[in-house]
Amino acid sequence: MTTRAGFIALIGEPNAGKSTLLNTMVGAKVSIVTHKVQTTRARIRGVAMEGDSQLVFVDTPGLFQPRRRLDRAMVAAAWGGAADADVVVLMVEAHRGVTPGVERILEGMAEIGQGRTVALAINKIDRVEAPVLLGLTKDLNERFDFVETFMISAEKGHGVETLRQWLAAQVPEGPWLYPEDQIADLPMRMIAAEMTREKLTLRLHQELPYQLTVETEAWEERKDGSAKVDQIIYVSRDGHKGIVLGHKGETIKAVSKAAREELAEFLGRKVHLFLQVKVREKWLEEAERYDQMGLDFKDGNA
């Protein structure tokens, strides 16, 4: 049996559907998916098997115009993920077309894409008519020499199987990089923290979700098979603590319940989740926080 294995970088603007595609490919929820932009911070890897090929997906942060240190570190991680991959898939939203953000990514691809297999995946195809799709495909392929173009709906699964089969044939021959039954190389503590952060992102509005982070402080395996998980939500201002807690603690209770249920479903066992909210004014400037998110603190320098 000839086995294959390789890294595949999914790149694109925030909200292009990268996390949704990763979760559909892997068949489990390993990457945070919300309606808000810039939710994926770390380069989360999901592992999918297709025949004798192991596909290791690098779900990069969305590429956007960075303003803060965290933004710059996220964008550096995204380009780093593309540069390290065997195959790169650029995802573009069908209904948004060639935005200024997509144009900036294509400019960056001129350098990163040299000597690399780069495919185009036009996502959310159900939102536009066929002539628009054809026009967008022609336009994008004139701007960059993509090896293949795929029309997909990551959310509904359309075209995903065809893309996965193609990727399986593109990754290099070699031994598998992970055990066959492993779906992500993230520690369970980080996946749990990401689940809680997703619930906070969905529940809170405006800028606050980007001013907080979640860390799993302790994980205890209990004799009855359940897990006790202690997490800390760090916010950068005292006023934010009240927003996260909510009136009479309603917000934090709802977030805790939703995160606990999802984590229990993911693990297939009972979970006891305990959340604390702490103010840490300078967490956005602490190298340790970036390390825990899989980002390089130095990349955040202007």
pLDDT given at position 40: 47
User: What pairs with residue 120 in β-bridges?
Assistant: 90, 149
Q: What pLDDT was estimated at residue 122?
A: 97
User: Which tokens go with 206?
Assistant: 């405006």
Which sequence spans correspond to the domains of the chain? 4-170, 188-300
Pairing of strands 44-50, 53-59: antiparallel
For residue 66, the model assigns a pLDDT of 52
Domain 4-170 has CATH 1.10.10.10: no
- pLDDT value, residue 272: 95
pLDDT digits (tens, 9 = 90+) for 146-203: 999 999 999 999 999 999 999 999 999 999 887 776 665 556 788 888 889 889 988 8
CA distances from 135 to 98, 114, 129 (A): 11, 25, 10
pLDDT attached to residue 217: 87
What is residue 132's predicted lDDT score, i.e. its pLDDT? 94
Domain 188-300 class in CATH: alpha beta
Which residues of the chain carry a pLDDT beneath 70?
28-45, 59-83, 113, 181-187, 205-210, 283-302
pLDDT of residue 286: 63
Give Cα 174 to chain centroid, integer Å.
Answer: 26
Write down the pTM of the prediction: 0.61
